[in-house]
Chain A
Amino acid sequence: MPSSSEPRSTSRRDFIDWIIKGGLLTTFAGMLFPALAYLWPVTRRGPIHDMVEVGREDEIQVWGSKKVVLGGSAFLVVRTPTEYKAFSAVCTHLGCIVYWDSDKKLIICPCHAGLFDLDGRVVSGPPPRPLVSHLVSIVDGKIFVKP
């Protein structure tokens, strides 16, 4: 009798062992994935902390602009001959999205004609405060903005 039951017992034990081995392998892979995902962006995005890539330099011509959404809010990046500037694109009056007028060299709110200069200061109109400005960095031709 023991001889007839032994192969069946061995087979069941092997099956459990395979489940445990497979489970441990899956668990190990599950642990490895976030570690690789953590390492991967560092090589891809560079070492800038807390800054978000919003585009490449060649996307914005001199005296041009680009609107981007970061952290649920709109930002306006303006390129001048010497530097890049980034502002919150939300008007401080009633919250409309402002735009850059390259002819007038002013940031304009379309709703109530609020005008801001290239430092975000109110030039005229009802906005009570200047636009909030944000740090911009250029690394390897890529534009990074700190939201």
Chain B
Amino acid sequence: MTTDKTKVQLLSVLLHLFRVAFFSLFFLWQGLSTAAPQSVEENACVTCHSDIWEREVQGSVHARANILCQDCHGGDPTQLDIEAAKAPATGFVGVPDKKKIAETCGSCHANVEVMNFYGIRTDQLARYKTSGHGKKLFEEGKDQVAVCSDCHGHHHILPISDPNSSVYPTNIPKTCNQCHGNEALMAGFGLPADIFSKYQRSVHGKAVLEKKDVSAANCTSCHGSHGAIPPGVRDIGAACGKCHVNEKKYFLESVHAPVAEGGNFSECIACHGNHEVHPASKLLYRTACIQCHAAGSPAAEVGENLFRVLAQSESELKAAEALVKGASIEGIFVEEEMGALEDAKTNVISMAPVQHSLSADRISGLYEKFSEVAREIKTRVHQKREFLKWRKIALIPIWIFVLLMASALWYKYKQLQSRRKGNPSSE
């Protein structure tokens, strides 16, 4: 009985071991056969679509990170047979639709664990779903809107810090214009298609597109990138105030601030416009104020007074600069005056942001400071000119002395010469 029992137990253990070994080998084989190859050379997608790989994908940021075809398109990259590689069980999707694109990109880019070491934010998909584009795609099912690949490209995706990237700051306006400059497409959404041409003429557009100034505002600076949406009336100040910090600060002190808070005044764009922002000029007091306030009204008169102080300051600054430059050309040392001129200039430049408070007192305060320095410069240059005049007058006795000396020496020379002729033996 004991022997039979031992035999049964041994058989049971052997059977269990066999079962474990069988399943281990099976799963190992399965694992080996379905694991994605780690190298490009072993990737069947690349083998067949080598033209696309070489032309579009090879230099992309994803290729460098070994994110290959199957990661977005599905399929089995271990299968050289096209039917097997694109079999339904492989999850092959071919060209994904727009929703699928957002979700596929988000599968990595919204995954904190995946993106952690790349230092890339993971809220792009969440933000996209709050954007005008995202809402139309996900809520209204309109697939004409932009999705990740429309801005970043699909195969040849470059890091945003690469100047060749379609989302590099200086390239963003043109990238957005691919859709927002399309009249037929924009008509479907009731949007204008001339924004890019307006932006091109603006102070921001010239800085970005002509001077290649990456710090100047492009489309995403105001609208956002992944969460792109037109700023509402109350948000405009926040959008502009990100860069124009002091202008925003002083605007909040102005009589317009509570009106804007109530949503009845569109802050910055009420005077400066939006896409076609021209360089700020004091002339706005004569063109923008009267759009809301009647010409000659007390409110318009406040603007007119500010205009006069600004104009006077600019004119006096130019006069002071010309005075110092002229004195310098005359040969007068004006180092101190040039230093003082920088102080004076600071007060005039400061008026630009401060004027957003619409406070006559503040502007007058700056004008007084400027005026005091300008007067001091004028006085000093005048004194130096006077001193120079007296120095020139002092040259007269010096020249008389020189002439007297020359005459005396000439006379002495003649005297010695005549003595030598009269008494040659003295030599």
> Which A residues have a C-beta under 8 Å from some C-beta of B?
13, 16-17, 19-20, 23, 26-27, 69-74, 89-90, 94-97, 110-113, 125-126, 128
Contact = CB atoms under 8 A, between A and B. Distances in A.
Nearest to A89: B342
Contact of B334 (A13, A27, A72): A72
A50 to B, nearest CB: 16
A114 B244 CA distance: 10
Given A20-B409, A20-B412, A97 B342 contact: yes
A27 B353 CA distance: 61
B99 interface: no
Interface stretch (B149-157, B169-177, B343-351): B343-351
Contacts, number: 73
Given A71-B335, A74-B342, A96 B349 contact: yes
Given A95-B342, A125-B245, A23 B353 contact: no
B36 to A, nearest CB: 45
A31 B345 CA distance: 43
B300 interface: no
Interface string B328-352: 0000001111111011011001101
14 contacts: A16-B408, A19-B404, A19-B405, A23-B408, A73-B338, A74-B343, A97-B346, A110-B346, A111-B246, A111-B346, A111-B353, A112-B246, A113-B249, A128-B213
Contacts of B249: 113
Q: Which 9 A-B pairs have the closest CB atoms?
A: A69-B339, A72-B338, A72-B335, A23-B405, A113-B245, A96-B346, A19-B408, A97-B346, A111-B349
A27 B343 CA distance: 44
B350 A111 contact: yes
Interface in B242-259: 243-246, 249
A72 to B, nearest CB: 3
Contact of A113 (B246, B336, B338, B405): B246
A22 to B, nearest CB: 9
Contacts of B340: 69
Interface in B396-418: 401, 404-405, 408-409, 411-412, 415
A113 B354 CA distance: 12
B339 A94 contact: no
Contact of B336 (A13, A69, A90, A111): A69
Contact of A74 (B339, B350, B411): B339
A96 B249 CA distance: 18
A29 to B, nearest CB: 12
Nearest to B408: A19
A23 to B, nearest CB: 4
Contacts of A16: 408, 411-412, 415
Nearest to B245: A113
A72 B325 CA distance: 12
Contacts of B197: none
B350 A23 contact: no
Interface in B287-346: 334-340, 342-343, 345-346
Nearest to A17: B412
Given A69-B336, A112-B245, A112-B246, A94 B349 contact: yes
Contacts of A97: 342-343, 346
A122 to B, nearest CB: 10
Contacts of A20: 405, 408-409, 412
